[in-house]
């Protein structure tokens, strides 16, 4: 790997840039300051301090949001769409500012940080069109003179708990849809990225102030620890809770929401694989694998963690990947040319190091990477080498998601059904892909007998989903769907309506209940 340690910014320089970006978005730093330091993973130093709220603050926010809901639900959806349109315009205007904060708080390289903000802009455009397409169906009634139909209505307050790795995009996926569907939003961001949330919300507050009929309390941010998240989860005033995080988190959140008969939308772990068949274009496969496996320092839920390659081309693919991995520039994510930034914190590095050791104990061989970088220059930041490990089989460490840039290479000898079985033989079911020039293999992979993941791609990697399609996965990934397609339906309640215009009262199924 190419080491770029000499360009790491000083604590003062990085903090000044982040603070200036937040202020340009409309954040009053004096009002949000407190005693909880926000540490940048770029250099391991504080950026600023923010105030945390407690569970009582969450309860107050939910009451305010429910009051706003009573007004917002009656506003015509196209008018609600105008608010989201204005938010998209402000996000476009402040794209560089938000990208600066995303990079500073979570360590994304600049192009990925800008790409995340572009996702926010894209979902606003999608939601604007959606505001005129909240369609219900009209069905044929078995009774003459009757109309059978369904209508969709605003659901209530939506709670959003987001993770560090997409500190703004996940909020926007939920918020843009929730707003056009008639729902207020309360957002608990990751403790590592509070200023991203405060800046995003400041832009939305500006849009709310400029939009007629948009009430106060439509969008709120609550910053705090686990107690704040738990308060959102347990409060019956939250009609839908959208939570992004680990499978462990989902095992706690899902039952608690279900216990109060609330709705939950869970986006949890991924252990994503690419199958590479003998007919694959290896140049294409290498490009797709490297971005999906090493991008965002392996800290995407859609990161490619397994490569399942046919044994006839396995060695060639491994050597090609090794050659690219050895050239990946590691260092300051805000420096032009850097492709690999830091892990979010020491705990992530501990998980990375433990997984590399466990893979060796389970028969794995490190082909490239496996070590820490920049430890001398930045002892409180955690940069690691993207790592490729060949494995003799799908052992326990391979079946476990490690949120770091580790990719395990497995081989198969038979036909593509053997590879598909390996792809499916993990607890998670988020994203998957196949590289092939064989139409039959491609169609089988995306069929009912193919990948069991929520995302199944052909000749692209596992990362980089567009907002037009519903995003989410199966099994331990949680089953939730966000973003495009018909994901909007989770934010509304459906009513089935029967309208009798016949003047008579025939019963369905031919039931006779006449009274003399």
Query: What average pLDDT does this structure show over 74-98?
Result: 98
DSSP string covering 123-183: HHHHHHHHTT-----EE--SSTTEEEEEEEEE--EEEEE--TTSTTHHHHHHHHHHHHHT-
Rounded CA gap, 282 and 59, in Å?
Answer: 54
pLDDT at 5 over 90: no
Burial grade of 119 (CB within 10 A; 0-12, 13-18, 19 or more): buried
pLDDT of residue 516: 74
pLDDT of residue 6: 54
Query: What average pLDDT does this structure show over 93-121?
Result: 98
**Helix 282-294, helix 314-325: angle, nearest 10:** 50
Judge whether 474 counts as a catalytic residue. Answer: no
pLDDT of residue 63: 98
Instruction: Band the pLDDT of 7: cuts 50, 70, 90.
Output: confident
Would you state the torsion angle of the CA atoms of residues 490, 492, 496, 497, taken in this order, to the nearest 10 degrees? -160
The answer to whether 256 and 227 are in contact (CB under 8 A) is no
Identified catalytic residue from 100, 105, 119, 267: 267
Query: What average pLDDT does this structure show over 506-510?
Result: 92
pLDDT at 357 over 70: yes
Q: Characterise 483 by phi-psi region: left (phi > 0), alpha (psi -120 to 50), beta (else).
A: left
All structural domains of the chain: 11-268+478-495 (3.40.605.10), 272-467 (3.40.309.10)
Q: Residue 390 — φ and ψ, nearest 5°?
A: -85, 135
pLDDT of residue 194: 98
The answer to whether 369 and 404 are in contact (CB under 8 A) is no
Query: What average pLDDT does this structure show over 139-157?
Result: 97
Neighbours of 381 (CB within 10 A): 26
How many whole angstroms from its chain centre is CA 67? 29
Rounded CA gap, 143 and 121, in Å?
Answer: 47
Q: Per residue in 24-68, pLDDT tens?
A: 999 999 999 999 999 999 999 999 999 999 999 999 999 999 999
Counting DSSP H helices and E strands in the chain, the numbers are 15, 25
Burial grade of 149 (CB within 10 A; 0-12, 13-18, 19 or more): middle
Instruction: Band the pLDDT of 486: cuts 50, 70, 90.
Output: very high
Q: Per residue in 155-199, pLDDT tens?
A: 999 999 999 999 999 999 999 999 999 999 999 999 999 999 999
Q: Per residue in 420-443, pLDDT tens?
A: 999 999 999 999 999 999 999 999
How many Cα atoms within 13 Å fall on the side-chain side of residue 39?
12
pLDDT at 123 over 90: yes
The answer to whether 348 and 329 are in contact (CB under 8 A) is no
Query: What average pLDDT does this structure show over 67-90?
Result: 98
The span from the first CA to the last CA of the chain, in angstroms, equals 89
The DSSP call for residue 298 is G
pLDDT of residue 475: 98
Rounded CA gap, 271 and 304, in Å?
Answer: 7
The answer to whether 163 and 67 are in contact (CB under 8 A) is no
Mean pLDDT (the chain, rounded): 97
Structure-model confidence comparison of residues 515 and 94, the more confident one: 94
Instruction: Band the pLDDT of 4: cuts 50, 70, 90.
Output: low
Rounded CA gap, 413 and 375, in Å?
Answer: 41
pLDDT at 229 over 60: yes
């Amino acid at each position: 790997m190419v080491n770029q340690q000499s360009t790491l910014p000083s604590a003062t320089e990085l903090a000044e840039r982040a603070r200036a970006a937040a202020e340009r978005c409309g954040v009053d730093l004096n009002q949000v300051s407190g005693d909880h330091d926000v540490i940048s993973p770029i250099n391991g130093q504080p950026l600023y301090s923010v105030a945390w709220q407690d569970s009582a603050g969450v309860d107050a926010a939910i009451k305010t949001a429910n009051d706003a809901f009573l007004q917002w639900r009656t506003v015509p959806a196209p008018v609600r769409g105008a608010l989201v349109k204005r938010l998209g315009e402000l996000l476009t205007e402040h794209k560089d500012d938000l990208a600066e904060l995303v990079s500073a708080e979570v360590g994304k390289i600049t192009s990925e940080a800008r790409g995340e903000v572009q996702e926010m802009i894209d979902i606003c455009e999608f939601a604007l069109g959606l505001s005129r397409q909240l369609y219900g169906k009209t069905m044929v009634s078995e009774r003459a003179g009757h109309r059978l139909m369904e209508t969709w209505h605003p659901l209530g307050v939506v709670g959003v708990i987001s993770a560090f790795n997409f500190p703004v995009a996940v909020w926007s996926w939920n918020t843009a849809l929730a707003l056009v569907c008639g729902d207020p939003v309360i957002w608990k961001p990751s403790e590592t990225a509070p200023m991203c949330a405060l800046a995003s919300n400041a832009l939305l507050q500006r849009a709310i102030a400029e939009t007629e009929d948009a009430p106060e309390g439509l969008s709120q941010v609550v910053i705090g620890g686990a107690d704040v998240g738990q308060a959102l989860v347990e409060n019956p005033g939250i009609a839908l809770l959208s939570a992004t995080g680990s499978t462990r988190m989902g095992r706690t959140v899902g039952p608690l929401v279900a216990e109060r008969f609330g709705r939950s939308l869970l986006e949890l772990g991924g252990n994503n694989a690419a199958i590479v068949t003998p007919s694959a274009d290896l140049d294409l496969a290498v490009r797709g694998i490297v971005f999906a496996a090493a991008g965002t320092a392996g800290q995407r839920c859609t990161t490619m963690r397994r490569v399942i390659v046919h044994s006839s081309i396995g060695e060639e693919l491994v050597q090609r990947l090794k050659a690219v991995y050895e050239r990946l520039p590691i260092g300051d994510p805000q420096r032009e040319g850097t492709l690999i930034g830091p892990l979010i914190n020491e705990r992530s590095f501990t998980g990375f190091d433990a997984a590399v050791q466990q893979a060796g104990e389970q028969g794995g061989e490190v082909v490239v990477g496996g070590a820490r970088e920049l430890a001398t220059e930045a002892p409180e930041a955690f940069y690691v080498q993207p790592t490729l490990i060949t494995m003799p089989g799908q052992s326990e460490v391979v079946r476990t998601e490690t949120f770091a840039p580790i990719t395990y290479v497995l081989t198969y000898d038979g036909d593509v059904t053997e590879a598909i079985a390996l792809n499916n033989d993990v607890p998670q079911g988020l994203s998957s892909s196949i590289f092939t020039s064989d139409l039959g293999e491609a169609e089988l992979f995306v069929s009912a007998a193919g990948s069991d993941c929520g995302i199944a791609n052909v000749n692209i990697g596992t990362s980089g989903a567009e907002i037009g399609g519903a995003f989410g996965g199966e099994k331990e990934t949680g089953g939730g769907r966000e973003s495009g397609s018909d994901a909007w339906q989770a934010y509304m309640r459906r009513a089935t309506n029967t309208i009798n215009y016949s003047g008579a009262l025939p019963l369905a199924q031919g039931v006779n209940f006449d009274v003399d």
